[in-house]
Structure 1
Amino acid sequence: MMNSPVLLKLVLAIVVASVGWRFLSDRLYSKHRVEIGGHVDPRFAAVRDVFLKNFENGWEIEGSAFAVYLDGKRVVDLWGGYADKQAARKWAEDTITVTFSTTKAVSALAVALLYERGQLDYNDTVAKFWPGFGKHGRGNVTINQALSHMSGMAWLDTPITEEIAADHERIREIFENEPPKWAPGTKAGYHAYTYGWILDQIVRHVDVQKRGIGQFFREEIAAKTGVDYHIGLPKSEQHRVARMSVPSMANRLDEMWYDTRVLKYLGSLFKLMKDHPLSKTVSRCTINNPDYHRLEQSAALGIGNARSLAGLFDQVIRGKLVSQKTLQVISSPFVNNTDFIFDDHVAKGHGFFYLPIQRAGTEYGFGHTGHGCQMIITDLKNKLTIAYVTNGLKTGLYDLCRTYSRLQNSVYDVVEKLELN
């Protein structure tokens, strides 16, 4: 047991080292006045003010981008801050970033397109196309259940290296040979990474050309919609990627001081330290590693920006990618219950989250949240699409992420005024 004087000295040394490092790190980069780029429709001028305020009051610790489409028109397209703060590299118009789990909604569009073409039905079993998935009692798992985090395969006992993650045949074998972690179809448990590999295998087994999700998305969706979004980033685009930074404890405490509900997300950090299902589902990878950006990981490693996310889903809700019939299918929840891994109530289905809006006559929108406060959401009634990305990660998500929440509110303030006029 360490005696008290030694312990006190150790604590003081840690404090001094921490303060010293902060003093030094503040001098590793040049400080610049906050600059905001982009444009807004004059009717949405107040949104720009809110975006700027996020930086001015210290809520944005790095950089971010925010985009809004209203019935096919880009009415907000803003960016600001740093793509790499320590290098003093500013966020530019073409900066892109890892969008984490918003990737799930983007990749789900590939399945929607296969549904649109009559190549699968959401009620089909996964095993109908991928027989090996039916092992270990998974024979009755439907595609919609798999995309709604109900397959029982939220984590894998086999350690997944970068080499394995890049080998779709090896991934297929691992899924076929591992038993589910709970009775498939009985409850929802968030498949943080495994969702992407399951979806990739569904696309590979259904697509006539047997393309993986990265190639399928690039050729059938990105090329046809003109969006700057990638599932498997080409090396030639690496120079545009923003560098991620995690929030300090002071940042987290400040978020909680602003809204105590954020405490529930802070609790997730403690679950990651224990033998909890959440710690098994979330990979501790270094997200700034460029080699990971090459992976076709359709659950968490999609790379784009707010403009590309909002632009893509604007085209979706206007029937430019799938028909209105398919849109009505994918915009309706499949399950609406408590996710036992997140310990949070969220409606899911078809690869999307369905999140409450309760503004401008809209009950909910569909899209997806992403780690650190990334966001894509669509409002069918108002033909409105909103997207936000940031490389300065936050603790809260969606309406508990203060930078995003007040941006969304500012958008709806305008939309509601437009309805009255």
Structure 2
Amino acid sequence: MTDSLLSIEGFAADGFGSVREAFERAIATDTDTGAALSIWRDGELVVDLAGGRADSGAGLPFGVNTPSVIFSCTKGLASVLVARLVQDGLLDYDAPVVDYWPEYGAAGKSNTRVADALSHRAGLSAPRQDWTTEDLIDWDRATRLLAAQEPLFEPGSAWAYHAITHGWLAGELVRRVTGLLPGEYFERLISGPLAVDAWIGLPAARRGQVATMVVGETLATHVSSQQSDVRAGASVWPVRALTLGGALPLALVGPDEGFNRSDVQAAQIPGAGGISTAHGLAKIWSAVVTETDGVRLLSDETLHRASLVRSEGAPFFDSPAPWPRWGMGFQLDSEARRYLGESSLGHDGAGGQVAFGDPNERIGFAFVTNRMEAVDSRGTDIVAALKEAIS
């Protein structure tokens, strides 16, 4: 079903009208960009909406089947992969990383635990040496550089957001245990069985079908402010966490830059490079918390352990409150990122992406957008409408 006035495609089941209205408000001012929203409850699809444009230059609509870059929502997917290996007895959160990845012990990192690597406590949030795009898209080169690097602070002693590097830490653990790169394990464990359009490393056959990411006004202003702060003497490390010293633009995208580049989209970058439809991403989170199409990815016991708070409060490198909270790679409900409540776990992504599951409410949720903003309440407002609708 298509609403021609608002250019809304899809449906919202009875009882979710307020959620549809929140989505309509989220895209009401979009003339060149778009978004999609999908919600599953009790393993059934209850909301599937999309609207706006996926590529204003080509005039392509943003539909329910439009894949989009999900940025750090990919960390949530990588954390599901690791949690499943823990559940299957193949990986131990409390074990040293070197038990699985011996080379990682270089430069004072031998005591780093798997839990530290997942919860942003590894001290490798940014590279000491500048990376190139070639480093970024080469799995072996990226993991070798991180394994050799001296940490920025004592591992386990504090937290700092590993904006891009988190994915190689989690992903190399997956590779060492399974023999598969994380994108391959993801397809075998998750996207294949669930039959969803979601990838860590975009297949060549889907090249050119991904929504074009656009830097919005508030993100452009924020990037300019970050650059000015560094020039004025602020710590460079949070900026390097995003750019890797030159491999990516600070906004993460631009015209044929960063995650708009086809070679970057094809690479496996599980800290920020996942690509998915909202429909597929929400179905995955549904299967994390409740049986969906015959698939249940994590048990209640595993979810409980993975959701124990590992990192919260002020980070090692100063940043303004409110601050997020982290479990075993999963982002938890906090003042900085509101989900449905204490039982929710997931991960948001740069520019306004939001994806999570809630085992108490048996909800899988995903909102994706190609208009990237820094000051952005779109996803938060939709989650708030969902919370009211199910209360």
Regarding TM over 0.5, the answer is yes
1:52 equivalenced with 2:31 (yes/no):
no
1:119 equivalenced with 2:90 (yes/no):
yes
User: In structure 2, what is the Cα distance between the partners aligned to 1:360 and 1:335?
Assistant: 17
Partner of 2:390: 415
SS of the residue 2:15 aligns to: helix
SS of the residue 2:52 aligns to: strand
User: In structure 1, what is the Cα distance between the partners aligned to 2:380 and 2:53?
Assistant: 21
Tell me how large the CA RMSD over aligned residues is. Answer: 2.5
1:281 equivalenced with 2:245 (yes/no):
no
Partner of 1:129: 100
User: In structure 2, what is the Cα distance between the partners aligned to 1:282 and 1:224?
Assistant: 33
SS of the residue 1:189 aligns to: coil
**Identity percentage of aligned residues:** 28
Q: How does 1:136-285 map to 2 (within 5 A)?
A: 136-207=107-178, 210-248=179-217, 268=226, 270-271=228-229, 276-283=236-243, 284-285=248-249
Partner of 2:288: 316
Specify whether residues 111 and 227 from structure 1 end up closer, same or farther in structure 2 by C-alpha distance, changes over 3 A only.
same
Decide which of 238, 255, 268 is 1:296's aligned counterpart.
268
Question: Which amino acid is the alignment partner of residue 346 of structure 1?
Answer: P
Give the superposition deviation at 1:192.
Answer: 0.9
Specify whether residues 135 and 391 from structure 1 end up closer, same or farther in structure 2 by C-alpha distance, changes over 3 A only.
same
| 8 Å CA contact retained: 2:339, 2:356 | no
Question: Which amino acid is the alignment partner of residue 43 of structure 1?
Answer: G
Question: Which amino acid is the alignment partner of residue 312 of structure 1?
Answer: I
Give the superposition deviation at 1:128.
Answer: 0.8
SS of the residue 1:157 aligns to: coil
Question: Which amino acid is the alignment partner of residue 42 of structure 1?
Answer: D
Give the superposition deviation at 1:136.
Answer: 1.6
Instruction: Considering fraction of residues, name the structure with more helix.
Output: 1
Give the superposition deviation at 1:407.
Answer: 1.2
1:98 equivalenced with 2:69 (yes/no):
yes
Question: Which amino acid is the alignment partner of residue 338 of structure 1?
Answer: A
Partner of 1:12: none
Give the superposition deviation at 1:38.
Answer: 0.7
User: In structure 1, what is the Cα distance between the partners aligned to 2:102 and 2:209?
Assistant: 40
Superimposed CA distance per residue, residues 191-244 of structure 1 (whole angstroms, 9 cap, x where no aligned partner): 11111111221111111xx11111111122211222211000011112320001
Give the superposition deviation at 1:60.
Answer: 7.3
Partner of 2:332: 354
Query: Which 5+ residue runs of structure 2 have no aligned equivalent?
Result: 250-256
Give the superposition deviation at 1:78.
Answer: 0.4
User: In structure 2, what is the Cα distance between the partners aligned to 1:126 and 1:361?
Assistant: 33
Range with greater deviation from structure 2 (58-67 or 131-140): 58-67
1:363 equivalenced with 2:335 (yes/no):
no
User: In structure 1, what is the Cα distance between the partners aligned to 2:226 and 2:273?
Assistant: 21
Moved over 4 A (4+): 265-275, 357-361
Decide which of 371, 378, 388 is 1:392's aligned counterpart.
371
| 8 Å CA contact retained: 1:65, 1:389 | yes
User: In structure 2, what is the Cα distance between the partners aligned to 1:228 and 1:121?
Assistant: 30
Give the superposition deviation at 1:267.
Answer: 5.3
Partner of 1:376: 355
Q: How does 1:33-44 map to 2 (within 5 A)?
A: 34-44=6-16
1:406 equivalenced with 2:384 (yes/no):
no
Question: Which amino acid is the alignment partner of residue 303 of structure 1?
Answer: I
Partner of 1:332: 308
SS of the residue 1:337 aligns to: coil
Question: Which amino acid is the alignment partner of residue 122 of structure 2?
Answer: S
Superimposed CA distance per residue, residues 280-318 of structure 1 (whole angstroms, 9 cap, x where no aligned partner): 111234221111101100000000021111100101101
Query: Which 5+ residue runs of structure 1 have no aligned equivalent?
Result: 1-31, 254-262, 417-421
| Structure number with bigger Rg | 1
How many residue pairs get aligned? The number is 367
Specify whether residues 201 and 252 from structure 1 end up closer, same or farther in structure 2 by C-alpha distance, changes over 3 A only.
closer
Specify whether residues 366 and 270 from structure 1 end up closer, same or farther in structure 2 by C-alpha distance, changes over 3 A only.
farther
Superimposed CA distance per residue, residues 302-348 of structure 1 (whole angstroms, 9 cap, x where no aligned partner): 00021111100101101501222212212332222222347242211
Give the superposition deviation at 1:270.
Answer: 4.3
Give the superposition deviation at 1:168.
Answer: 2.8
Question: Which amino acid is the alignment partner of residue 89 of structure 1?
Answer: L
| 8 Å CA contact retained: 2:168, 2:269 | yes
Q: TM-score, normalised by structure 2?
A: 0.87
| 8 Å CA contact retained: 1:266, 1:395 | no
Superimposed CA distance per residue, residues 363-407 of structure 1 (whole angstroms, 9 cap, x where no aligned partner): 3521111100101122222112221100011113xxxx3222221
User: In structure 1, what is the Cα distance between the partners aligned to 2:72 and 2:138?
Assistant: 21
